[in-house]
A and B are shown apart, each in its own frame.
Chain A
Amino acid sequence: SQQGEEDPQALSIQEGENATMNCSYKTSINNLQWYRQNSGRGLVHLILIRSNEREKHSGRLRVTLDTSKKSSSLLITASRAADTASYFCATALASGGYQKVTFGTGTKLQVIP
């Protein structure tokens, strides 16, 4: 399985601080995505980084990808209480004409006001 593993499993920070979550995976990939899930709700896509990219930004989000180490990180800067959620990485790899997407186990982020 190429399932990603997020680290840490849980993270608690004060509002205004930066939050960093890491994802490691096992096989080669076409791209890696990060999703956010509010408690008990569906996942929402945040950002996608392709295998030939090293860094990508979107608003307060910064994603890095190191394919040699098979790892990615998600940085949320100047966190807000509304950022409290679980964050999942998902790796995509073409398999038989289909891009199989495999999700990690998630990091639960709590931002304390």
Chain B
Amino acid sequence: EAQVTQNPRYLITVTGKKLTVTCSQNMNHEYMSWYRQDPGLGLRQIYYSMNVEVTDKGDVPEGYKVSRKEKRNFPLILESPSPNQTSLYFCASSSQGRTTAFFGQGTRLTVV
């Protein structure tokens, strides 16, 4: 089954404790993105990747890092999480030349 898998689904952590949210897709898509969703603000892009080893900042990249060492994986790293990063995070992938995105089920992160 074609899917984008994020882990974990839920995470509560403390300020400053490094964490990684994993994202994996099995559709051989070139493009992958991370979004955060906050009430009243819709989805905002954090980082995106056009292919292996090619990443770029989205609209709200501050406080986040990503890597794309393999085509299928695109982890989101929070080196020092802060409470303002409490949000619902989505990973998405799409194939080159197409904009239709496939989304993961989301990771609800709470930073206390």
Q: Which residues of A contact B (CB under 8 A)?
A: 1, 3, 30-31, 33, 35, 40-45, 48, 88, 90, 92, 97-106
Contacts and interface: CB of A to CB of B under 8 A. Distances in A.
Nearest to B56: A98
A42 B104 contact: yes
Interface residues of B, number: 29
Main secondary structure on chain A at its contact with chain B? Answer: strand
Contacts of B31: 98-99
A42 B90 contact: yes
Interface of B: 4, 31, 33, 35, 40-45, 48, 50, 56, 59, 88, 90, 92, 94, 97-106, 108
Contacts of A105: 40-42
Given A40-B106, A97-B50, A98-B31, A48 B59 contact: no
B40 A45 contact: no
A57 to B, nearest CB: 17
Nearest to B108: A40
Contacts of B59: 1, 102
Contacts of A35: 101
B40 A40 contact: no
Given A88-B42, A88-B43, A42 B103 contact: yes
Nearest to B99: A92
Nearest to B33: A101
16 contacts: A3-B42, A40-B106, A42-B90, A42-B105, A43-B92, A48-B100, A88-B42, A90-B101, A98-B50, A99-B97, A99-B98, A100-B45, A100-B48, A101-B45, A102-B45, A103-B35
A45 to B, nearest CB: 5
Contacts of A40: 88, 106, 108
Nearest to A40: B106
Nearest to B3: A42
Given A98-B50, A103-B42, A43 B99 contact: no
